[in-house]
Amino acid sequence: MSLDKTSPIQATSLPGDFHAGDTVPSDAYAPGTVRHGSLTQPDLYEAKDERPFSRTVIELGELAAGWNLARIEELVRTENRRAVFGGFAWDSPLLRATGTIGVSIMELWRKDSKRAERIAERDYLVPPEFCSMIKTMIGRWDLLNASSPIRRILAFSSSCEPIGMVLEHARNLGYEIHTLEGATAFKTDERPEATVKFLANEIHKAGAWLQDGKPLDEERLGEEIRRKNAALRKVARILDLRLKRPFDIGSLPTMWLLGGTSGFFGDYERFDNILDRLIAELESAAKTPETRPYLPLILAGAPPGGLSFFKLLEEHNAVIVGLVLLGTALYREDVPPAESLAHYLFDSQLRGELGEATGASATLRRRGIEALIEKTGAKGLVSSAVTACPYASLLQQIERNYFRNKNFPLVALEHSVHNEPITEEQTMKIKAFLEQLTGEI
């Protein structure tokens, strides 16, 4: 039986994933696009910048689009490369130092996410109302179990409890899992040496696991930290230049730039070259500062509605000048490399960066937001959270109370991990927020 690709179908005799009577929106299974009402959209790393500032931005988009799970699986199969799920941001120097490709957990919901969610609900009995991230993780690992050559998962145990449950399901499926024991910096003014040493030791253990017992080479780790720092400095320079010319580099390429600092989309030299060219182009453009009014905003959390959210803001001359999830803070180079990674993680937790999976502090994310507001002159905050995440709902409540008490405008939005365009209701909410702020610009 062939699937109708244009409209929802009643599946009555489908084998495998579907049960009789299931209503299956078949477009949700097409790679890279989803149907939501009458709209489809590519995901953020496959989308094209519709008004690229230069050829360099187009090249950046091509580099980002070419780096995905399918490409990594191909490298594992054809070049015998080592790859693990996990290892996306703070630990990326560790993965690079061990010659391992880290597959961001976000890859799990870039494709087949609706199908994965159905499997989680049907086979793993995850309640439908539970967070889509959890359902997609276990459903997608289940789907990939038969086909993917990537069989290992590097986990961090400070993530939420349901993720621990998902990892156990993945272990039962046959994936090999290594967990970095969780360490959390609960207090800003305390950094016990023993805690740093503990996490540094965990990093060494993970390094040996990644290399099948071979010890972690700290010298190589140091090189990778310096490399990442160099990229972070360049991206920070681009973000500063963007404040002078906010319309040149849109939200989409800004996401690519920040996302690229972890794994360089698999090609450090090319990514580095793109950064150099972009800086030169923007420095030249910045000689003529932008005079058109714009509305500077901070985005805390992931963009709800993905590409459609960015487009909506851009239609209203609103520019995201600061993102809290991914920052440009540098790794320390004055301490041994494994300890540098440990310090970086603790500092990120206290800034509320990197998200809940790395033990980020809900109560302290507002400090990161305030620092960004001060630096960028932002006039409003978009606080975004995954629907039904207990952690995120607490975090949003804290932000609502805190910023409203300070009379700083905030709009709180929820989203799923599915790549779905922004809903009508959210569109109205954001438009009302922007109208409320327009008098400020």
Binding-site ranges for ligand SF4 (CB under 6 A): 131, 133-134, 160, 162-163, 356, 386, 389, 391-392
Instruction: Copy the structure tokens of residue 55.
Output: 């050829």
**In the complex, least distance from residue 393 CB atom to ligand SF4, rounded to whole angstroms:** 9
Nearer to ligand SF4, 192 or 390 (CB): 390
Question: Are the C-beta atoms of residues 105 and 85 closer than 8 Å to each other?
Answer: yes
Place of tokens 């209701």: 425
| Least separation in angstroms between CB 50 and ligand SF4 | 30
Burial environment of residue 291 by CB neighbours within 10 A (0 to 12, 13 to 18, 19 or more): exposed
**Partners of 60 in beta bridges:** none
The residue number whose beta carbon is nearest to ligand SF4 equals 389
Q: What is the CA radius of gyration of the chain?
A: 22
Name the nearest CA neighbour of 201 among 211, 190, 209, 212: 209
> CA end-to-end span of the chain, whole Å?
57
Of 302 and 422, which CB lies nearer to ligand SF4 in the complex structure?
Answer: 302
Nearer to ligand SF4, 53 or 309 (CB): 309
CB of 40 vs ligand SF4, minimal distance in Å:
25
DSSP states of 76-121: HHHH--EEEE---STTHHHHHHTTEEEE-GGGGGTSSHHHHHHHHH
Please state the length of the chain: 441
- CA angle 153-156-160, nearest 5°? 110
Shortest distance, position 283 Cβ to ligand SF4, whole Å: 39
Query: Toward ligand SF4, which CB reaches closer, 157 or 438?
Result: 157
E strand intervals along 221-352: 295-300, 318-323
Q: Which CB, 325 or 386, lies closer to ligand SF4?
A: 386
**Nearest distance from residue 161's CB to ligand SF4, in Å?**
8
- The DSSP output letter for 39 is B
How many Å apart are CA 352 and CA 184, to the nearest integer? Answer: 12
Q: In this complex, which beta carbon is closest to ligand SF4, that of residue 386 or of residue 430?
A: 386
Decide: residue 269, CB within 10 A, 0-12 exposed, 13-18 middle, 19+ buried: exposed
Closest by Cα among 60, 50, 54, 48 to 281: 54
Q: Write down the least CB distance from residue 35 to ligand SF4, Å.
A: 24
Smallest distance from the beta carbon of 144 to ligand SF4, in angstroms? 18
The one-letter code for the residue type at 127 is: P
C-beta closer to ligand SF4: residue 134 or 320: 134
CA angle (354 as vertex; 353, 357 as ends), nearest 5: 125
Instruction: Give min distance, CB of 162 to ligand SF4, in A.
Output: 5
Nearer to ligand SF4, 158 or 251 (CB): 158
**Would you state the structure tokens that stand for residue 116, as one six-digit string?**
């994965």
Separation between Cα atoms, residue 269 and residue 20, nearest integer Å: 52
Distance of closest approach, residue 357 Cβ to ligand SF4, in angstroms? 7
CB 406 within 8 Å of CB 324: no
Least distance CB 83 / ligand SF4 (angstroms): 22
Place of tokens 């276990």: 138
Q: Which is nearer to ligand SF4, 86 or 246 (CB)?
A: 86
In the complex, minimum distance from the CB of residue 421 to ligand SF4, in angstroms, rounded to a whole number = 20
Nearer to ligand SF4, 162 or 421 (CB): 162
Beta carbon nearer to ligand SF4, 257 or 354: 354
Q: Give the up-direction half-sphere exposure of residue 426: CA atoms within 13 A in the CB hemisphere.
A: 21
